[in-house]
Structure 1
Amino acid sequence: MCFIVKYVLLIANFIFTLAGLTLLGLGIAALVNTSDLSGVATTPLNAIAISIIVLGAVVFLIAFFGCCGSMKENRCLLLTYALCLLLLAGAKIYLTVLMFTSEDSVGDLVEEWIEKAFYNNELRDTMHAIETAFECCGTTGPNSYFGILQALPPSCCPYTVSQRCEISNAFGGCINIITEFLSKYSDVFGGILASILAIE
């Protein structure tokens, strides 16, 4: 194998290894932060986070595989590596398009889930868990609790607040906060995937 090609492959695969680890970490972070939504039908959100985790792991493994193939100059390993890259490129194109086109629908789903949890007494604990995890309060803010509870729940205020939770120190509404959180991660994921595709 040409000396230059060998080391170009090594450097490229090192970059892909880092990108794979980054995707893996971000996917895990998103999954952990949305895990408290388990009582509100979060299958689509979990599916996206898990897809990112799987993609990150696959990118990492294939890049590591490519490093071994180029270092040992093994034709079989390199051909397998090239085929894997081709298949992976197709998967990344699909996921990149999905990340950039599903933002509006995700916002609608978040609003539907939050309202379902908020107005269903059986999901009250789930709602408080959501508020604690995302540091938010009610559907659109603390005023959401007027006529529902006599006082704001502790989950609506920071842990440092030792006195009764009041509107003045309560978090913002969960719909906007969670939608912004998911939009932020969606942009990061999409940017990383688009960058990887551009490099390839």
Structure 2
Amino acid sequence: MGCGEFLVKYILFFANLFFALAGIALIGLGVAVELQVTEVLEIFDESLIFQLTPIGAIVVGCIVFVVAFFGCCGAIRESNCMLITYSLFMIVLMILKITLAVLIFVKQDELLENIPRWLTEAFSRNQTAFHSIERSFKCCGPNGFISYLNPILPESCCESTPCLPNNAYSGCNTVVKDFFETFGMAIGAVAIVVGAIELVAVVFALCLANHARNKNRRTRY
């Protein structure tokens, strides 16, 4: 094996270690968002993007991890079949991740603008049920303690008791909006970075696959 093939082989191997870690990162972000938003999914039933983005991140992260492991094996063994299969999977994954990122960045502003309206409507319908959102996000009412029009606030509005305006959390409109904005940007950014590096990995994998195919041909003569 020449110096060039050696470098391609191990660059591809370590790149797939990065992909495996990136897959774990996507899974972690998706799980974190899914656990955090369990209490508010009914409020966001008008938006499939909010409901499907964390699940999509988890699914894509799992697939990335499995394919990255496959790529590591293909690179070490210099298997033409495994490398070609890996390249096809990576192209599909790259398209999925770019699609996920585009959906997040294109739809995010529109969805974030609707969060205050959804939370206000939920608060008006059932204040008792709204307490679960306050406990989950550590916030108080849609607009802070003034939402209750009462100096004695529910315990879900504060970290300590008695719960009064001076120790109440911020309003849920701002807290929930910031949460989705931060994690949406994080998931989108990870997806784009990984997708860009995957394109380079596909080129390297095809080069190594070509080298492996030529090597097998030479051994037959």
TM-score, with structure 1 as normaliser: 0.90
* 2:91 partner amino acid: L
* 2:169 partner amino acid: F
* 1:113 partner amino acid: W
Of residues 141, 144, 165 in structure 1, which corresponds to 2:147? Answer: 144
Alignment of 1:54 onto 2:59: yes
Aligned to 1:83: 88
* 1:179 partner amino acid: K
Rounded to whole Å, the distance in 2 between the matches of 1:111 and 1:117 is 10
Per the TM alignment, residue 150 of structure 1 is displaced from its structure 2 partner at its CA by: 7.4
Rounded to whole Å, the distance in 1 between the matches of 2:100 and 2:180 is 15
Q: Give the paired residue count.
A: 193
* 1:188 partner amino acid: A
Query: Contact 2:151/2:165 (CA < 8 Å) preserved in 1?
Result: no
Rounded to whole Å, the distance in 1 between the matches of 2:119 and 2:142 is 6
Aligned to 1:155: 156
Rounded to whole Å, the distance in 1 between the matches of 2:174 and 2:110 is 14
Aligned to 2:165: 167
Q: How does 1:115-130 map to 2 (within 5 A)?
A: 115-121=120-126, 124-130=127-133
Rounded to whole Å, the distance in 2 between the matches of 1:39 and 1:184 is 21
Aligned to 1:20: 23
Greater Rg by CA? 2
What stretches of structure 1 of length at least 5 have no aligned partner? none
Query: Contact 2:144/2:172 (CA < 8 Å) preserved in 1?
Result: yes
Rounded to whole Å, the distance in 2 between the matches of 1:25 and 1:50 is 11
Query: Contact 1:20/1:60 (CA < 8 Å) preserved in 2?
Result: yes
* 2:111 partner amino acid: V
Rounded to whole Å, the distance in 2 between the matches of 1:106 and 1:153 is 29
Aligned to 1:111: 116
Aligned to 2:217: none
Aligned to 2:190: 192
Query: Contact 1:24/1:57 (CA < 8 Å) preserved in 2?
Result: yes
Query: Contact 1:30/1:185 (CA < 8 Å) preserved in 2?
Result: yes
Query: Contact 2:67/2:86 (CA < 8 Å) preserved in 1?
Result: yes
Rounded to whole Å, the distance in 2 between the matches of 1:44 and 1:195 is 21
Rounded to whole Å, the distance in 2 between the matches of 1:55 and 1:144 is 40
Rounded to whole Å, the distance in 1 between the matches of 2:169 and 2:43 is 21
Aligned to 2:12: 9
Aligned to 2:40: 37
Query: Contact 2:16/2:72 (CA < 8 Å) preserved in 1?
Result: yes
Of residues 120, 134, 138 in structure 1, which corresponds to 2:137? Answer: 134
Aligned to 2:71: 66
Percent sequence identity is: 37
Rounded to whole Å, the distance in 1 between the matches of 2:56 and 2:158 is 33
CA RMSD of the aligned region, Å?
A: 1.7
Change in Cα spacing, 1:141 to 1:162, as seen in structure 2 (3 Å) is closer
Rounded to whole Å, the distance in 2 between the matches of 1:69 and 1:125 is 56
Rounded to whole Å, the distance in 2 between the matches of 1:17 and 1:184 is 23
